[in-house]
Structure 1
Amino acid sequence: MKIETNLDKYQSAVDTALIQIADANVVERIWEHDHSVWKPDPDEISNRLGWLHTPEDMQANIQEIQGLVQVVRDDGYTNVLLLGMGGSSLAPEVFSKSFGAAEGFLQLDVLDSTDPGAVQSYADKLDLSKTLFIVATKSGGTVETFSFFKYFYNQILAAVGEEDVGQHFVAVTDPGSKLVDVGEQYKFRHIFKNDPNIGGRYSALSYFGMVPAALLGVDIALLLEQAREMAAQCQQQIIENPGAQLGAILAELAKAGRDKLTFLTSPAISSFGDWVEQLIAESTGKEGKGILPIAGEKIGASEVYADDRVFVVLELNGEHIDTDDLEKAGHPVIRISLENIYEFGGQFFLWEFATAVAGHGLGIQPFDQPNVESAKVLAREMVAAYQSEGKLPEGDTTNASPEDFSNFLKQAKNGDYFSIQAYVTPNAETTRALDALRLKLRDKYKLATTVGYGPRFLHSTGQLHKGDGGIGLFIQFVSSTRNDIDIPNEAGQDASNMTFGVLKQAQALGDAAALQAANRRVLSMSVEADPISQINHLAETLI
């Protein structure tokens, strides 16, 4: 791995910050688990630093993981579907998209959408009799994950019978969680109990990432060795410590107004941006501050970017992404070159450590998520109203009219960003429409853009949306589904008081209400008839 930077006029501020980090013994104190690096109160800090030792600690668990992989291959399984959200799903998705399945190993898909169309698509395309399900949740109580589990448990029960159904499920969770009890009750094939002192977004190198990676055929021993080497570098003095240097850059540039961290990646590793998006957004977006990661936004001409950008170029195998025009225009650029895909192991640890150092520089606590619960509480209120009245509350939702859209966009000002939130069925065509809209918005308004499918993004950037300085404009697209799917009240039973469609709608309503309660600018639009055509039509109005 090689890191090069062109920080131009910001280099002196970064150099000063690095001296301060060295003088305050920040690196040494992080490794000593000193919570005062961030805050006087140790709550959700002292018990969230297990990730520092994951590359070393997981060495002892490789044989256990490989044992599971061998037995499910011997049993004829061909596919694995991971059921999880946020930190439980994003690293596995990186492994699936970047490595793919080795010959003779299992194809891995990730389900992190409560949209009925998304759930049904996996029920239709997979041979359930040859599919292993990973139920992954740190807390053991994530509503989306348990809804997925109950639905697919019933599907597998119908396909293979009561005696064999439990063999199709594996759990990854914290010791003592509700999922441990559920796994034992339903006779799961295996329950992996993760180190509870690791937060979800810092768990890529733990069981949460290594179990699905190994099922793909990834050499997890090599991956962890790369992580160990990076961890060793991140214990060195500042001049030889890439994590401390990167963290100082992120913090100092954000304080100087360069708080839109834009990732430009080689195509084969583009999904890494989705993982690092959660890590940085959820870690830094609080107390009126935040670094906004921009993933998946296609590179444009230098004139479409305002002076709030920092570009991170992540290149693989000698590929080169040209940023000459961006650098000539004065935009800071961080270039990271990877010789091979297994250096991802080091990248996971590098960005975790850098985020921790950046938290120190910003004066925030990078391991909690104080604003995430607000949307969950309001979504539960929506569900409770549905169960008592038989319908969801009316939200402040309009039709997707160009006039409403145009009036909303007039609120944009320098330093803002657009967050496009799509509570629709995720698929390639919809993604293309959303990407076209984001680029039109960027090019016209010179503002950063993000795109996320709901409720997936709630577990990724949702914290920053409500915890930063209020600089987002939130464009919410919501569709219902004609062919809804019941969520069983209990696994193995038919009774149902809730559907995936209602859950998705409740989550959209809850998040919109939480954003409004935080005085955020929100436009919620119904795209019932034809989401893709309606999104495309709005993009066409941006001339």
Structure 2
Amino acid sequence: MRSRDIQIVNPERLAPELAQGLRDLEKDAIVRRIWDRDWTVWKSEDKEISNRLGWLASPLTAEEEVPDLEAFTASVRGDGLTKAVVLGMGGSSLAPEVFARAFGTREGFLELEILDTTEPETVTAAAARFDLEKILFIVSSKSGTTAELVSLLSFFYDQVRQELGGERAGRHFVAVTDPGTPLEALAGDLHFRRAFRGRPDIGGRFSALSAFGLLPAALKGIDLRRLLSPARAMADKCRLEIPADNPGAFLGTVLGTAAAKGLDKLTFFVPPRLEPLAGWLEQLVAESTGKEGRGIVPVIESGPKNIRDYGKDRVFVDFPASRDAEPDEGVRALADTGAPLIRLILDDPYSVAGHIFLWEFATAVAAHFLHINPFDQPDVEAAKRKARQVLAGAARAGSAAPEDRSPAGEGLRIAGSGPQEGPEDAVARFLGGCREGDYLAVLAFLPKRAGIEELLAGLADRLRLKTRLPVTLGFGPRYLHSTGQLHKGDGNRGLFLMLVPAVLPEVEIPAVPGIARPAADFAGLFTAQARGDGMALAEKGRRVLTIEFGSPIEAGMVKLASLLG
């Protein structure tokens, strides 16, 4: 793919800033300086920049890891294991999810599943269907200390230990983590089958083409050499110093200059075949750019909807299935409005690694135009810190202290509102605070089951129609490791509708020697994570409304939808 293969429809909406940006990029030798690992491309001080540029070499260094990954996979298959389950969050889970869902499982290899939540219903449902005798758990974390990861490891290690015995349990676990982390030490203490070392100079969201993404891919039977070939080709093209000929530099200039002039809602039209890639893109863009009062807001939609309601702050991305594919009726209608549209061909699952490197490079270039460091995440810790405070307070009190709430009514109540304000008034007040250029984020700390997902999609559509704003949807705690940085780091453009359950099943997080569990049970941890993020958003002056659903959750969601008209 060259920049000429990135079709820009209605480029006049991006001019003259795009043309000037390309000239400036060439004049300032930005491409060469990125490859030279020159941190001054982004900042005048080297804080978490030069030591986070290892991803530039990933397509080549990953090739060196392939024989080891293949040998490990053969040993696992030889022991009769048939399923691999990734326990991890953020970059440790999103790239494996791309490979899990974009590729079929090769005959004789392992099915691949991702578990990235502390929601107790989801955890227990997974445990009920897992055949522990046949499973390999991939315990994946750059830091090795992520609360969700530690909790899931405690739970499933205890399950395997009880069923198979302590001597056999470790053979059903493999760690992927950076050198010297607590997880690496724990893998030795608990006799894990293996601990793969990540590269410390690659951040989590840029780690797809390292062991964090490639080990799960290998276990699924994906041909790693074939997968990496397009990534190497893309890396070579991203070395071209003339930005107009360099796909990553060109795309990054489009994104960065558009965002700098206010077109900062990057809307991806994602067909079902590319849904897993959307989650990975969402984290890469949001967590890399959402800071210092700036940010590009990724918005995931299945296709154009209510085109007349789209604001002037959007850039659209479409992924045609082939070079000759005509845009569908909705995309054509959108193009006829003069909206800027990027078209990128993704016609083969094995080309996805090329797109991964393309977007990594483009995001780094876009950050140059926004004058931010794309490799740090200064606000992510805030929600974690608040969650720990909630847990500590609950431990002192013996249980979580109740929040002030409005009166219960028809399955839902409003957290933190005055005693005289009912749900209808609270929702109206919240949505009445919309401003031009805003977006609305639905933050669902709810079980991720089919009925709830369907109701959430309908709720997002109603909110879109009512407010005419871009609407994003994220399940907690997953979104904390994806869009959470943007929510707290951008220019206060978001309205945050947090949805939580009133009652959760109590599922113990077992005590395992050597593992410092963050909470006694999943319900307490899940609740603390929701409250902690709400507190962190409020501390940043964000507009937040928290709605609590009784049981059944679905009834409260139907009531909420009715309040929106």
- Shorter-chain TM band: over 0.9
CA contact (8 A) 1:266 1:316 kept: no
Q: Judging changes above 3 Å, is the alpha-carbon distance between structure 1 residues 419 and 397 closer, same or farther for their aligned structure 2 residues?
A: farther
| Structure 1 residue 206 corresponds to structure 2 residue 214 | no
| Structure 1 residue 333 corresponds to structure 2 residue 341 | yes
Deviation per residue, 1:272-293 (Å, 9 max, x gap)? 1110100010010001000000
What are the equivalent positions in structure 2 for 1:166-245 lying under 5 Å apart?
166-236=170-240, 237-245=242-250
Alpha-carbon distance in structure 2 between the residues aligned to 1:84 and 1:494 = 16
Deviation per residue, 1:231-256 (Å, 9 max, x gap)? 00000021210000000000111122
| Structure 1 residue 255 corresponds to structure 2 residue 260 | yes
Alpha-carbon distance in structure 2 between the residues aligned to 1:73 and 1:297 = 37
Displacement of 1:535 after TM fit?
A: 1.7
Question: What letter corresponds to residue 104 of structure 1 in structure 2?
Answer: G
Q: When the two structures are superposed, what TM-score results if normalisation uses the length of structure 1?
A: 0.97
What are the equivalent positions in structure 2 for 1:368-383 lying under 5 Å apart?
368-383=376-391
Supply the RMSD in Å over aligned alpha carbons.
1.7
CA contact (8 A) 1:133 1:169 kept: yes
Question: What letter corresponds to residue 89 of structure 2 in structure 1?
Answer: M
Alpha-carbon distance in structure 2 between the residues aligned to 1:259 and 1:496 = 37
| Structure 1 residue 360 corresponds to structure 2 residue 363 | no
Tell me which of 81, 84, 95 is aligned to 1:80. 84
Contiguous gaps of at least 5 residues in structure 2: 407-412, 415-422
Displacement of 1:168 after TM fit?
A: 0.3
Query: Which 10-residue stretch deviates more, 72-81 or 397-406?
Result: 397-406
Displacement of 1:444 after TM fit?
A: 2.0
Question: What letter corresponds to residue 336 of structure 1 in structure 2?
Answer: L
Tell me which of 6, 9, 22 is aligned to 1:3. 6
Identical-pair percentage: 43
CA contact (8 A) 1:17 1:248 kept: yes
Task: Give the corresponding residue for 2:426.
Answer: 404
CA contact (8 A) 1:116 1:500 kept: yes
Displacement of 1:14 after TM fit?
A: 0.5
Task: Give the corresponding residue for 1:275.
Answer: 280
Alpha-carbon distance in structure 2 between the residues aligned to 1:320 and 1:85 = 37
Deviation per residue, 1:379-412 (Å, 9 max, x gap)? 1111111122212233355515233222211111
Alpha-carbon distance in structure 1 between the residues aligned to 2:360 and 2:279 = 14
Task: Give the corresponding residue for 1:346.
Answer: 354
Alpha-carbon distance in structure 1 between the residues aligned to 2:302 and 2:361 = 25
Alpha-carbon distance in structure 2 between the residues aligned to 1:215 and 1:447 = 42
Query: Which 10-residue stretch deviates more, 194-203 or 533-542?
Result: 533-542
Alpha-carbon distance in structure 2 between the residues aligned to 1:389 and 1:490 = 25
Tell me which of 440, 443, 446 is aligned to 1:421. 443
CA contact (8 A) 1:486 1:496 kept: no
Query: Which 10-residue stretch deviates more, 364-373 or 478-487?
Result: 478-487
Alpha-carbon distance in structure 2 between the residues aligned to 1:492 and 1:36 = 42
Alpha-carbon distance in structure 2 between the residues aligned to 1:198 and 1:455 = 23
| Structure 1 residue 390 corresponds to structure 2 residue 395 | no
Q: Judging changes above 3 Å, is the alpha-carbon distance between structure 1 residues 403 and 100 closer, same or farther for their aligned structure 2 residues?
A: farther
Alpha-carbon distance in structure 2 between the residues aligned to 1:193 and 1:315 = 37
Alpha-carbon distance in structure 2 between the residues aligned to 1:145 and 1:493 = 11
Q: Judging changes above 3 Å, is the alpha-carbon distance between structure 1 residues 320 and 268 closer, same or farther for their aligned structure 2 residues?
A: farther
Q: Judging changes above 3 Å, is the alpha-carbon distance between structure 1 residues 339 and 313 closer, same or farther for their aligned structure 2 residues?
A: same
Q: Judging changes above 3 Å, is the alpha-carbon distance between structure 1 residues 159 and 297 closer, same or farther for their aligned structure 2 residues?
A: same
Query: Which 10-residue stretch deviates more, 163-172 or 393-402?
Result: 393-402
Displacement of 1:338 after TM fit?
A: 2.0
For the residue of structure 1 that corresponds to 2:200, the secondary structure is coil
Alpha-carbon distance in structure 2 between the residues aligned to 1:14 and 1:72 = 50
Alpha-carbon distance in structure 1 between the residues aligned to 2:537 and 2:402 = 16
Deviation per residue, 1:454-473 (Å, 9 max, x gap)? 11000000000000000100
Displacement of 1:67 after TM fit?
A: 1.0
Alpha-carbon distance in structure 1 between the residues aligned to 2:381 and 2:503 = 26
Question: What letter corresponds to residue 550 of structure 2 in structure 1?
Answer: E
Displacement of 1:206 after TM fit?
A: 0.6
Task: Give the corresponding residue for 1:302.
Answer: 307
Deviation per residue, 1:19-50 (Å, 9 max, x gap)? 00000000000000000000011110011000
Displacement of 1:536 after TM fit?
A: 2.5
| Structure 1 residue 151 corresponds to structure 2 residue 159 | no
CA contact (8 A) 1:39 1:365 kept: yes
Query: Which 10-residue stretch deviates more, 499-508 or 92-101?
Result: 92-101
Alpha-carbon distance in structure 2 between the residues aligned to 1:494 and 1:185 = 14
Displacement of 1:495 after TM fit?
A: 10
Q: Judging changes above 3 Å, is the alpha-carbon distance between structure 1 residues 78 and 147 closer, same or farther for their aligned structure 2 residues?
A: same
Displacement of 1:298 after TM fit?
A: 4.5
Alpha-carbon distance in structure 1 between the residues aligned to 2:15 and 2:350 = 30
Q: Judging changes above 3 Å, is the alpha-carbon distance between structure 1 residues 532 and 317 closer, same or farther for their aligned structure 2 residues?
A: farther
Deviation per residue, 1:90-110 (Å, 9 max, x gap)? 011111111132222111111
After superposing on structure 2, the runs of 4+ consecutive aligned residues of structure 1 that deviate more than 4 Å are 317-321, 491-497
Question: What letter corresponds to residue 228 of structure 1 in structure 2?
Answer: R
Question: What letter corresponds to residue 92 of structure 1 in structure 2?
Answer: P
Alpha-carbon distance in structure 2 between the residues aligned to 1:344 and 1:496 = 36
Deviation per residue, 1:477-529 (Å, 9 max, x gap)? 11155432111232599999611000010011110000000000000111132
Displacement of 1:533 after TM fit?
A: 2.3
Alpha-carbon distance in structure 2 between the residues aligned to 1:408 and 1:496 = 33
Task: Give the corresponding residue for 2:289.
Answer: 284
Alpha-carbon distance in structure 1 between the residues aligned to 2:304 and 2:94 = 23
Q: When the two structures are superposed, what TM-score results if normalisation uses the length of structure 2?
A: 0.93
Task: Give the corresponding residue for 1:486.
Answer: 508
Aligned residues between the structures: 543
